Amino acid sequence: MSSKLTFMPISHTGWGALEQLTDEAERLNASNVLIVTDPFLEELGMTKKIVEPLEAKGWKTSIYTEVVPEPPLEVGEKLVAYTKENKFDLVIGLGGGSALDLAKLAGVLATHEGNVADYLNLTGERALVDKGIPRILIPTTSGTGSEVTNIAVLSLESSKDVVTHDYLLPDVAIVDPELTVSLPPKVTAATGIDALTHAVEAYVSKNANPVTDGLALQAIRLISGSIRTAVEDGENKEARTNMSYGSYLAGLAFFNAGVAGVHALAYPLGGQFHISHGESNAVLLPYVMGYIRPSCEKRMKDIVEAMGVNVTQLDDQQASYACVEELKKLVADVNIPVSLKGFDIGEDALDSLADDGIKQTRILARSPMPLEREDIYAIYHAAYSGE
Ligand code: NAD
């Protein structure tokens, strides 16, 4: 079977990569630049690092700071309306996945009729027709990989939906680990496990191929080897660099191979209980992998090996159990609750979570084990009881 692979944005990676910003903006013929970010990053003074060199070139800049974590649809609608009213020629997204996803929508939908809702994957009825205004995406978390994917995620009342098309891909990604040093331990942990989940799900995806396998395994090595240090000592340059490269590689892997059960079940947790995307993935990761384990034992042996555990003496089945244990241990080590009870979610919520989880048919299709509603309920139940 053949595979389509997309590695689109020109990428500048590594400590100090931000220095490439003005050259790239110049190449894209910028003169009136919109910067999409969140108020906290503005407060931290991070937007200055973007605005000053651009203004030194004589370009006009406008900073839009109304991004909120896990942005609801209405926040996207407001930003897109604002972008349409102004004649920007470049959109820069600065922040975590929330800011980057909104920057993608602003850039693409500026040249489209209708609302964001019209383009949603599950309920929208319009199709994107062009790539809109050029975009440069600059992540400040090591998590989503949004800087290299063609997806923008929005929160709806009880779950999430996405706008997805290759037109959403940015022109340039600038992945500078220095911008992640200010991340607090809790966000480092949650976003880091999000990135690990991308790599793990890409590796066991039905759409995996040797290219995505290489990306995913290297991401797993980098993230599992550095996340504890990055959480404990946020100024550790090596750990921050490994996390940035890990999340970038995991982004490329999952964009091309897809994610599956963990993400499908995480969306309702985020939607119904406003748990961050990273924590939603983290609390479910060991339980989804534990459930689908019989369908991908050999692959789980590769994963646990990439996590640095010596399993040479174990057969595939034994190693797959070791993989589940190692994932659980890693989540606990970075201080994320390892059961839904840790998020005050009661057993009475599991039915409605399962009702929304089964709706994520596009994502569930990549699971190596088909998951029906009763399977999804069983996984939520395991995550609730912690077993
Ligand atoms: P986020 O963007 O919501 O940011 C989380 C918090 O971290 C915010 O309060 C933000 O102000 C803060 N923060 C960000 N960078 C910081 C820094 N350097 N220092 C201090 N604080 C900082 O978090 P996220 O996990 O990166 O993004 C989550 C969003 O991305 C969700 O909506 C999720 O669904 C989406 N997502 C998108 C993709 C994709 O491919 N497009 C993939 C996965 C997740």
ipTM for the whole complex: 0.99
Q: What is the pLDDT of residues 126-185, one digit of tens each?
A: 999 999 999 999 999 999 999 999 999 999 887 788 999 999 999 999 999 999 999 999
Q: Looking up tokens 């996340």, which residue turns up?
A: 227
Alpha helix ranges (H) inside the chain: 21-27, 39-43, 48-56, 73-85, 97-109, 185-204, 210-232, 237-257, 261-273, 277-292, 297-306, 316-333, 350-357, 361-364, 373-385
**Which strand (E) or helix (H) includes residue 151?**
strand 151-155
Residues with CB under 6 A from ligand 1: 38, 40-41, 69-70, 95-99, 101, 140-141, 143-146, 149, 151-153, 179-180, 182-183, 187, 191, 194, 277-278
Residue 278 CA: nearest ligand 1 atom is: 25
d(CA 230, CA 62): 33
Best residue among 146, 175, 248 to mutate for probing ligand 1, ranked by most atoms within 8 Å of CB: 146
CA atoms within 13 A on the CB side of 217: 15
**Nearest alpha carbon, ligand 1 atom 44:** 144
Q: Characterize the bridge pairing of strands 135-139 and 172-175.
A: parallel
Q: How many other CB atoms sit within 10 Å of the CB of residue 26?
A: 13
Residue 282 tokens read as: 């983290």
Mutate to test the pocket of ligand 1, among 48, 73, 98 (most ligand atoms within 8 A of CB): 98
How far does residue 266's CA lie from ligand 1's centre (Å)? 15
pLDDT in tens, 324-369: 999 999 999 999 999 999 999 999 999 999 999 999 998 999 999 9
* Residue 278, pLDDT above cutoff 90: yes
Map tokens 């659980």 to a residue. Answer: 328
Q: What pLDDT was estimated at residue 83?
A: 97
The tens digit of pLDDT for each residue in 235-268 reads 999 999 999 999 999 999 999 999 999 999 999 9
For position 122, what pLDDT does the model report? 85
What domains are there in the chain, each with its CATH number?
A: 10-180 (3.40.50.1970), 185-385 (1.20.1090.10)
Question: How far, in Å, from the CA of 291 to the mean position of ligand 1?
Answer: 28
